[in-house]
Amino acid sequence: MSAVTARPQDEVIKVRNLVNRFGSQTVHEQLDLDVRRGEILGVVGGSGTGKSVLLRSIVGLLRPTSGQVQVFGEDLLNLSPERRSLVERRFGVLFQNGALFSSLNVVENVAMPLIEHAGLGRPDAQQLAGVKLALAGLPAGTETKYPAELSGGMVKRAALARSLSLDPEILFLDEPTAGLDPISAAAFDQLILTLRDALGLTVFLVTHDLDTLYTTCDRVAVLSQKKVLVIGPIDEVAKTDDAWVQSYFHGPRGRAAEDARAAELSHEVK
């Protein structure tokens, strides 16, 4: 993990005064958030705090009740459909369940955005899709399998390959290690770090996985009370005087994740 120091002009996502209401339920109220170029930002919070709702608001899958969402300096909510489509092509999204098309094999799933949005012919799209699958760490022979034939970890990697298909600058990950065994989850964490460093990605990461937070994130944002309660390096966030933060970061699992990171850093120093 490499710390990211950014100037204001390096903020690739700016959310201001965001409000999300569903009927009588208010999920976000005047929420502000900045995401810096090249960082991995982890977003955490208790159940119902709207982590995935925030992600969907930023990527354009959900229109907020009010507020402003800027990506690459452009106000997505006020762009023409054509201009907004061009901006949205600059980020990729990995949904929690992978969201692969069950009727398409792996390489067809990854090639789909290249055919629909980049205008490539099927042979060229599938050849490039093979490169993306290799980047995501899927072994040769996987490309002809269908989603139902894949393990949970392989589904995540195939979905990751698809999210990388259009060479995005920002990668949105919604619970990427959910449902994975510890070994697969740790391997996925390392893959995200490798891809961020190799491709210069900015990563917006919704997760509840403490190991993922300690392993990958430059900063962590905690959603609470319908806003971003605190944002910063994980060690600073963990000191916040808030009952949920203290329970989350300093409970048995939090202590175990922190100890594991300390042991890893000690090993690297040696």
Q: Please tell me the predicted confidence (pLDDT) of residue 226.
A: 95
Domain coverage including residue 139: 100-157
pTM here? 0.87
SS3 41: strand
Predicted confidence (pLDDT) at residue 266 exceeds the cutoff of 60: no
CB contact set of 35 (below 8 Å; sequence gap of 6+): 11, 12, 13, 14, 41, 170, 202, 204
Residue 20 belongs to some domain of the structure: no
The b-or-e profile of 220-242 (16+ CB within 10 A means b, else e) is bbbbbebbbbbbeebeebbeeeb
Q: What is the pLDDT of residues 129-139, one digit of tens each?
A: 999 999 898 88
Q: Please tell me the predicted confidence (pLDDT) of residue 57.
A: 94
Residue 228 belongs to some domain of the structure: no
Residue 81 belongs to some domain of the structure: no
Q: What is the pLDDT of residues 75-88, one digit of tens each?
A: 888 888 889 888 88
For β-strands 66-71 and 74-75, DSSP reports them as: antiparallel
Q: Please tell me the predicted confidence (pLDDT) of residue 253.
A: 65
Distance of CA 108 to the CA centre of its chain: 23
SS3 162: helix
Structural domains of the chain, count: 1
Q: Please tell me the predicted confidence (pLDDT) of residue 72.
A: 93
> Nearest 5°: phi and psi at 50?
85, 35
- Count the residues in the chain: 270
Calculate the average pLDDT of the chain.
88
Q: Please tell me the predicted confidence (pLDDT) of residue 42.
A: 97
Which residue in 234, 169, 183, 225 sits closest to 207, CA to CA? 234
What pLDDT band is residue 173 in, cutting at 50, 70 and 90? very high
Predicted confidence (pLDDT) at residue 259 exceeds the cutoff of 80: no
Q: Please tell me the predicted confidence (pLDDT) of residue 119.
A: 84
Which residue in 233, 106, 113, 207 sits closest to 157, CA to CA? 106
Q: Give the percent of the chain with pLDDT over 90.
A: 67
CB contact set of 80 (below 8 Å; sequence gap of 6+): none
Residue 236 belongs to some domain of the structure: no
Q: What is the pLDDT of residues 214-227, one digit of tens each?
A: 999 999 999 999 99
Q: Give the percent of the chain with pLDDT over 70.
A: 90
Residue 89 belongs to some domain of the structure: no
Residue 12 belongs to some domain of the structure: no
Predicted confidence (pLDDT) at residue 261 exceeds the cutoff of 80: no
CB contact set of 119 (below 8 Å; sequence gap of 6+): none
Residue 53 belongs to some domain of the structure: no
Q: Poorest-confidence range of 208-217, 224-233, 252-261?
A: 252-261
231-to-19, 40, 123, 129, 228 alpha-carbon distances in Å: 19, 12, 45, 36, 7
Give the whole-angstrom CA distance, residue 196 versus residue 35.
14
Rounded to 5°, angle at Cα 12 from 6 and 17: 105
Residue 143 belongs to some domain of the structure: yes
Predicted confidence (pLDDT) at residue 258 exceeds the cutoff of 70: no
